[in-house]
Amino acid sequence: MPCIVAVMSIGHALLGLLESGPRHGYDLKRSYDERFGQDRPLHYGQVYATLSRLLKGGLVEVDGVTPGDGPERKRYAITTAGVTDVERWLAAPEKPELYLQSTLYTKLVIALLTGRPAADVLDRQRAEHLNTMRALTRRKATGDLADQLVCDHALFHLEADLRFLELAAARLDALARTVTEARP
């Protein structure tokens, strides 16, 4: 299932969560998973490796240590440098993905080059996209507002793909001529 956190910086997200107050690594993971990780919860290893990196970079500091039966539990706090880093991250727009190396486009060209029915490639892909969109639409019906927005983000991207599929279907004959004329 599409997931916006796949391309998100985990480090910046953890820093952002720490801005509301110091937390243990376990609490941070739980908070992250609740907000962003429904499809992809963090592994503990990822959390502690990220915190270790942030600690080394001076973006977080150890705010206290709680002794226990097992290993000591460190509580982390964001530093001033960490807050500045979050501000810088929020201020920088994400680079739009261009999808110029689309597997679907490659399949389309290969189907045309090899004389296979390219329209079937498009039709099967449309059905697959719509099935995923149905699953997201069902999920939206029961999700909270944050989950609905995550699903909407994915739905709009899938819709854009489908519009490409329609356009490609309408231009299939022209594309076939272009592809076969350019055959080396």
Partner 1 sequence: MTPDTPGPLAEATPISPTATPAEATAEGGSLLAAVELRKRFGATTALDGASLRVAAGEIVALMGPSGSGKSTLLHCLAGIFPPDAGEVRYGDRSLSRMSETARSALRRGEFGFVFQFGQLVPELTCAENVALPLRLSGVRRREAQRRAVGELERLAVADVARKRPGEVSGGQGQRVAVARALVTQPKVIFADEPTGALDSLNGEQVMRLLTEAARASRAAVVLVTHDARVAAYSDREVVVRDGRTRTFG
Return residues touching partner 1 (CB under 8 A).
120, 123-124, 126-127, 129-131, 133-134, 136-137, 141, 155-156, 158-159, 162-163, 166, 169-170
- How far apart, in whole angstroms, are the C-alpha atoms of residue 88 and residue 25? 24
Nearest residue (CB) to partner 1, 27 versus 147: 147
Distance from C-alpha of 37 to C-alpha of 57, rounded to nearest angstrom: 25
How far CA 86 is from CA of 33, 91, 150, 177, in Å, comes to: 19, 9, 21, 51
Min dist CB 94 to partner 1, Å, is 21
Question: Shortest approach of partner 1 to residue 111 CB, angstroms?
Answer: 14
- Residue among 48 and 164 whose Cβ is closer to partner 1: 164
Q: Which is nearer to partner 1, 14 or 154 (CB)?
A: 154
Per the CB < 8 A criterion, the answer to whether 43 and 29 are in contact is: no
Q: Which residue has the tokens 């099967």?
A: 124
Type of residue numbered 4? I
| Least distance CB 125 / partner 1 (angstroms) | 10
Q: How far is the CB of 114 from partner 1 (least distance, A)?
A: 18
- In the numeric block, the tokens 């960490």 are attached to 82
